[in-house]
Amino acid sequence: MSRRFTLLLSIAATHIVAAAPTWTWKTFTDERDIWLRSSCDGVLMFDYRLGAGGAIAEMRDVPSGNKRLLSPSFQGEATDRIIQWTWWSDSITNAVAGLPSFEHRFNVTQGGDFVGQPAPIIAVMIRPKENIVDVFSVPQDQWKTQQQSFMKNKISALTRYEMAADGVLKVRRVMLVDRVKLTGKTTPFAKLYIEGWSPFDRSGTFDGLALALDGKGTPNWWYRAGENIPNYPVLAAAKTSGYAVVYQTSNPQANPAVGLVFGTGEVIPANKSNALVLNTMSWDNGIAILPALGLADVAEGSVIDVTIALLPRRSLDAEMSARLRALVPQIPAPIVHPPGTAFTGEIAKIVTQLRANQSSTGKRTEHLATQISTTP
């Protein structure tokens, strides 16, 4: 072999680039539940179980023996410490003896109520060609049972799971604003806070929270549970990186990490009283990433449309950092469509269905495989 040919082979070898990993998805059911599963280069990676209200009830790291990634429940209920939305309103309140003042306000969560009663499910549609699962539900119970006879409301909602490229799970939430009856009287949402409640496991899985990573995947804006994770700092999303990550601080390159992408777009239509913010908190066995909408004067019949994305990886590294940054501009800005909006295309069909579902009873179950249908 000539010296020149050997040199050419050496040069070529230095330019060989490893093939990008291939991520795939599978939706499957067991006797009662619907699962979403990602794989990378044929190796099983992460599982998600859909549960109460269409929320993510479980998230597991499969290669480590199905290690739990979400915080354990408070007292065994299936309606809390799951990845879901929750509505609060400080402008709709009812004082109840025995409840702390913060529980005097309107509060409906996607999954159901405090004692574990799940929200009614209308229909679940699995669309394998598009890698989409749609869940229509009508959450309607105040979080505290003591308030349920005083505050009446039904939130007709779609939760869409899009199993996207590179192991990304996009979660779209479309919610129809219903009237609220407070002790029988219609009461408007002068203030409305809609939070993406996302509680991750602190009992042996994660202890760090990063709000930014450098190009190598090293956190450069971060906190540690039990020390300094802020409690509801109300950070303007536009002034953040548009994502947050839970990870293990002791050896992040050899432990799972989960990124939650919420974007940096301002609420549409622009209104100085409305904002997309990031809140955070932690407790004995959990760390929460809480992107939220702070809204004012939301009228009955409005449609709220917001999207987040989950990006789990088995290592906090440069690939994860680059993928998070690439995802941020892909997350659409939250939209509050006012009553009377002339919808077109797919959103028109979604809103028509949400309106029809308001008069439906649905089935109270956390096991969604029983509710699969081709049409809602």
Give yes or no for residue 277 having a pLDDT over 60: yes
pLDDT digits (tens, 9 = 90+) for 164-203: 999 999 999 999 999 999 999 999 999 999 999 999 999 9
Distance CA 373, CA 100 (A): 42
**Token pair belonging to 101:** 């003042």
Q: Could you tell me the strand order of the sheet in which 275-283 lies?
A: 105-109, 84-93, 189-201, 286-298, 275-283, 235-236
First to last CA, the chain: 69
Pairing relationship of beta strands 185-187 and 169-176 according to DSSP bridges: unpaired
**Token pair belonging to 327:** 């995802």
Distance CA 325, CA 69 (A): 22
pTM here is 0.94
User: How many Cβ atoms are within 10 Å of 117's Cβ, its own excluded?
Assistant: 18
> Please, which residues have CB within 8 angstroms of residue 177's CB and are 6 or more apart in sequence?
155, 189, 298, 299, 300, 301, 302, 303, 304
Pairing relationship of beta strands 67-68 and 56-61 according to DSSP bridges: antiparallel
pLDDT digits (tens, 9 = 90+) for 254-268: 999 999 999 999 999
pLDDT digits (tens, 9 = 90+) for 95-141: 999 999 999 999 999 999 999 999 999 999 999 999 999 999 999 99
**What domains sit in the chain, N to C, each tagged with a CATH number?**
22-371 (2.70.98)
Residue 132, helix vs strand vs coil? strand
Residue 362, helix vs strand vs coil? coil
Residue 264, helix vs strand vs coil? coil
Pairing relationship of beta strands 243-247 and 169-176 according to DSSP bridges: unpaired
Give yes or no for residue 227 having a pLDDT over 60: yes
